[in-house]
Structures are given as structure tokens and as C-alpha cells.
Structure 1
Amino acid sequence: MTRLAALLALIACAGGAAAARLPSRRLTLRACAAQPPPQPSQPLPPPPEGFTVADEWEVPPGCSERRITEVLMEHRAADFPSATAAKRLVRRRQIRVNGNVVGTTTNVAAGDFVQRLERLGAGLRPLQRSDVPDGMTVLYEDEHLAAIYKPAGIPVHSGGGGDGSSGEEAKTTAYAPKKSVRTFLPSLLAPTEEVGALRRPIHVHRLDAATSGVLLAAKTQTAVRELSRAFADRNVRKRYRAVLIGVPAVLGGDGGFNATAAAAVDSSEPHVISAPVDGRASVTEWRAVNITRSLRFGYLTTVDMWPRTGRKHQLRRHAAEVLGCPILGDTKYERIPHGDEGNFGISHGMGLFLCAVELRLAHPLSGQDLCIAVGEPPKFTKTREREHRRFLDLADAGAAQDDDVEM
């Protein structure tokens, strides 16, 4: 019994010693996981005034000597999804290697220390608030993004007319002011204190100069990246309001001047246009809101349109070329409605009756659902009322008994 007791005591002692060693082993693992990031071999200069170091890392062993843009894309793919994004930040002098500003052709190798700098606040001195055009207002704003209302006639950025004209042609059009939305954004929006603030806010999508409506702008690098990705992945739902000349064939009209093109309307999904634009697949969802009698145009059809793709002038071309009912005031795609040659260009000078009235998306940082909406421009309602009143006043008594048709 004595020998057995001694053996049991020895086993218990060995088990206790093993158990006592386990916590220390776990502590060792925790200590390894909590080690600070690698530090440069020699002190680096501090970032310039107005900037902070947002990210820094050492190029790992085994990494062959390559250009800085390739290294950024490989080791920080979330921040640099493309070569363009990497080159942009390098050119802005916001990438340092071993404390030195680099160029897009600079090579880095294993052991080099890379830093990414970001602004601590907006760096552009804005214009006077009084310089902002009438009608350009802020619909939503936070520290990362904003939504504004862009009036018709103001280009999003300078260099073109926004209605399909070149820069030279734009100089002779009404849609070529010296300043653009991009010029006015710093005056319109409050500066952000977020790390990664842009030098000045920038739009993340476009509207034609002749088109009014909701426009999104980013105030930080993170917002630019995430909003651009949302638009590229078609995760932003856009609704436009337009007034068309005539009645589309699918609603019982004659299809305007191009009735055969109405066959491109996808009958398997009502009110969906699937027709290529410049050889690229393009899809537009639409529904009628109102049909109004008009002495000059016969009928005006007010529609809501949701582009599922984002081709240049997609809505304008689908309306004119597929539905056969051009958007009222479209100087580029309007043709002879209803075969009446005397009506060619009759709506020119009225402005384009197309407005981006709603944007739906998830906030790029919080994930919260955002719905930014405005009503249709007053000229839409006034034009419908005026045209219908003229029809009632001047048309034959029998034809003038038709009222507006609400869809």
C-alpha cells in the first residue's frame, strides 16, 4: 500500500506540474500576438503639417524589388484596388518610403518602411458662400459625404457642355459657365475633421449639365473609395423623372415617329427597356406617372425611370430611340414627333425635362440605408398645366373633353 500511495502521489505531482505550465504557455502565445508593429531601423521625419500617418508597415522578407504602386496594391488591396488609385496617392505625395517622398516609378524591396499619409482636414480655401448659384442646396451632409441638388444648366465639372458637346462646342452653348459643381462644393459643404479628408469635396458620379437633381459628393478618401465601388457594383438605386413627347406604344400610343423601335421593349417584364447603347448592353426600368393632352405635342407623358446600367445618355437615348418619345427639351436626341415636320425643334429653348429625383444606397461607413429624394422641378408641373389649359381653350369641343390620365 505504501508503494502504491507513493506512485499515485508521483503521478499527481507530475500532472500538477504540467497543469501549472499550461497557463504560462498561453501567456506566451498572448504576448506574441500582442507584439507592436515593426518599427523603422532609424527615426523617420514627422508628417508635414496638416497630415497624419494613417498606416505604416515594413515590406516583408522575400518580397522582390518592385514598383511602389505594385507593392501598395498587393499588401493594401482594400485601400488600393487599382493602379490608378495607387498612383493618385503617390502623386499627391502621400506615400513615403523610409521617410522619403517617392514617385510612381520608385522601386521598393524587403525591409523598406512604407507610410501612408492622410489629411487632418480640408485644405482648400473655399469661395465666398454668396458665389454659390441659386438653387444649389445641400440635401444631406455628414463628415464623410454629402448630397446636393444640382440645378439645370451647371456642369458637374468643367471642360465640356455635359450634353454631348465637346469643350470647344460648349463655349458657344448655354451650358458652359466658367464654374462647375466641383468649383462650388468647398463653399457649399462644411469642412470635415475626419482623418483622410480630401483637399476639397469631389462628386462621385455625374449628371449632364442640362439635367437637374440629386448629386453625391465625397469628403474623405474612404467615402470616395466606397461610394465609387457602390456605383461600380450597381448598389445605388437611382430614380429620374422625365416628361416625354408623345405616348409610348406600350401605353396605347402610336410610338411617335419611330413605332418599329418599340419592339425593343421587353414584353416579358413590363416597362423594361433592354436595348444596347453604343454596342453595350443597357437596361432601363420605367413606368408612366401622367399623360397630359397638349395642343403643340399631342400628348406629354410623365415617367419615372430607373437605369440599371450607366451608359452615356442612356435614358435620353432609350426614350427617343426605343420608346419613340424623346424627352421634352432634348436638343440632341429630339426628332420630328408624330411625323409632323413643322414640329421639329419646337421644344428647344425650354430646357431638358429630366431630373434625378431620388438616390437610395447604404451609407459607406455606417451601413445605414439612405434615401435622398426631391420633388420634380416646378417647371414640369407648370408645363403640363399650361399645355393642358391651352388644349382645353383652343381644341375642338369634342376633343377637349379628355382630362389628364393619372397612371
Structure 2
Amino acid sequence: MKISETHNVESIATPIRLQEYAFGIFKTVPTKSSLKKAIKKGLIKVNGKIATTALYISKGDTIELFQLEEKTQRKHFDFPLDVLFEDDYLAIIYKPAGMLVSGNSFATIDNALIQNLQKSNLPNATRPRPVHRLDYPTSGLLLIGKTTESIIVLNQLFEKKEIQKTYHAICIGKIEKKGEINFPIDDKEASTSFEVIETAESPRFDFLNLVKLHPKTGRKHQLRKHLFAIGNPILGDKEYFIENKALKGKGLFLHASTLEFTHPFTKETINITKELPKKFKKIFP
């Protein structure tokens, strides 16, 4: 095997598992799943020894990634992104609806980041990486890590629920003015609070509602499943809809509008909001 990339652990507060620390430090294994596969295949060594997923990393360790078989060089996707905040540690960008965050496709946000963000001047700078996901049809704010340490810390903030996310959606049908949806998803606890901002009568859908949403957990398709569960599916949803109430050709009316958190390194309060897309304003000017 031939060494593909090497990383020296220069700064780390406390020991952390390899599979958590190494996410984002290697260009050729950019996702958590590909990192886990590389570890299981014995392609990652720490201090010269083949590593396991349970291994803890400490300051001074040397991590080596060996060349993956038939791995082609990553190409960059030339696509302009709206950057709403950026410093040496992190960035917040706008993801348009109808675009993948990451994955095997070429046209992803992940592949476009390096073209749109400034290279960090910090010693542990790495390839910019999204630290959470938005569904393909969802528009809105996406948080990006620009250093090895920031990627780790931002992931931890999400796990501790210290990053507040606000969404806006247009849902159909008669709905309470505000409330909380506690409905398990994949047999796991899931909770969402909602508040109706505005309601309009609709010949086709009876009522259309502009709703503000605060997910308290982060399950897959949580907001879409929760609104569907109470009989108020999101307008344009192709997966969770009421028969004869589906809207086609306009996309999903779900938008990640605000990110709020304390910057883990500068300690400043970050509160970034992206206005609603034009298609929302056509219904609720």
C-alpha cells in the first residue's frame, strides 16, 4: 500500500475517537461513511499501526491514509454560492433547492465549496466540509467547517443541541396557531415546535399556512414527516402528501431560514437569516 495523505495531530484538548477526529482531514475520504470504510479496510494507520474505529487520538499522533483502490482524483464543481458569513474557522452558505449537499454526484455543495470560500490561515486548515445536511429539495442555510478542529467542535455542538435552527414552510389544511409535535421517527424520539405566521384561504388546498418551525431533534425528514403526521403536509412534498392535494412542478416549500449559535472559537453570537425564496412570497407577499 502507498501512503496517500498524512496528518499530524497538533492541537486537541482531550482524546477523541479516530472516526470522530478524522472526519474532514483527508481529501480522498470526505464523508463519515467513506472514513469508516477506510478504517475497516485497514487503510488508516496511527503511529504506524493499523487503526480501529474504537481508537482514541491524542496530541502528537500521526495519522496516515493509504491509497484507496481505483480512487479517482476529486474534481471541483464550478458553481457560485451565496456566502453569508465566513472567517478562518467556519462559513455559512445558502443552499439552493434541488441540490445535493454531498454524496457520489458531481454537482454537490461539497464539491463547490473550495471554489467559493477563502482558504483558512490556521495551521489545522482543511478542505471545507458541511457539518450537517439539508434535503435535496430544501433551500436554506448550511454550516461549513474550515479547520479540522472546527469540524469536530461544530459536530459536537449539533449533538448537544447548542445550534438553533429555524425553518419556514408552507403547509396545507386547517392547523392550530401554535403547538408541539411529538411523534417518533424510526422508533426514536422526535420533537418539533411550530407557529403559524399567516394563513390564506385556497380553492384547491382549503388553507395555506406560512409556518415557522423549530426542530428540537434532528431525525431524517423530521419536519416533513411531523407536519404530514398532523394532517398538514408541506406544499410540494412528493413523499409525504395527501391524495389529490399534491402540488407538482414547484418544488418543496421548506426553507432553512436561520442559524443561531455561539461561535466556539471567537465566542461571538452568530445569528444569520436568509430571506424566504421568491416562490414563498408569491403566496405570502
State the TM-score, normalizing by the size of structure 2. Answer: 0.79
Structure of larger gyration radius: 1
Structure 1 unaligned residues grouped into runs of 5+: 1-48, 56-75, 119-123, 160-176, 252-269, 337-342, 386-407
- Cα pair 2:210 2:284 within 8 Å, conserved: no
Q: Which amino acid is the alignment partner of residue 184 of structure 2?
A: P
Which of these residues, 110, 115, 125, is aligned with residue 187 of structure 1? 115
Structure 2 unaligned residues grouped into runs of 5+: 27-37, 65-72
Which of these residues, 79, 99, 103, is aligned with residue 132 of structure 1? 79
- Cα pair 1:54 1:116 within 8 Å, conserved: no
- Cα pair 1:245 1:300 within 8 Å, conserved: yes
1:151-176, Cα deviation, whole Å (9 max, x unpaired):
000011124xxxxxxxxxxxxxxxxx
1:144 aligned partner: 89
- Cα pair 1:275 1:281 within 8 Å, conserved: yes
Q: Distance in 1 between matches of 2:60 and 2:277?
A: 51
2:19 aligned partner: 84
Which of these residues, 264, 268, 279, is aligned with residue 368 of structure 1? 268
Report the CA distance between 1:103 and its aligned residue: 2.6
Equivalent residues, number:
254
Q: After the TM superposition, which residues 245-394 of structure 1 pair with which residues of structure 2 at under 5 Å, given as runs? A: 245-248=172-175, 250-251=176-177, 271-322=179-230, 324-336=231-243, 343-345=244-246, 347-384=247-284
1:135-160, Cα deviation, whole Å (9 max, x unpaired):
x310100001000000000011124x
Q: Which has the higher helix share?
A: 1
Report the CA distance between 1:50 and its aligned residue: 9.9
CA spacing shift, 1:191–1:370, aligned 2, 3 Å: same
Secondary structure at the aligned position of 2:10 is classed as: strand
1:196 aligns with 2:104: no
2:10 aligned partner: 54
1:227 aligned partner: 154
Which of these residues, 42, 50, 56, is aligned with residue 103 of structure 1? 50
- Cα pair 1:126 1:186 within 8 Å, conserved: no
Q: After the TM superposition, which residues 171-186 of structure 1 pair with which residues of structure 2 at under 5 Å, given as runs? A: 178-186=106-114
- Cα pair 1:201 1:220 within 8 Å, conserved: yes
User: Which has the bigger relative contact order, CA under 8 A and spacing at least 6?
Assistant: 2
1:213 aligned partner: 140
Please tell me the root mean square deviation across aligned C-alpha atoms, in Å: 3.1
Report the CA distance between 1:246 and its aligned residue: 1.3
Between the two proteins, what is the percent identity of the paired residues?
34
- Cα pair 1:328 1:352 within 8 Å, conserved: yes
Secondary structure at the aligned position of 1:223 is classed as: helix
Report the CA distance between 1:78 and its aligned residue: 2.3
Q: Distance in 1 between matches of 2:60 and 2:88?
A: 28
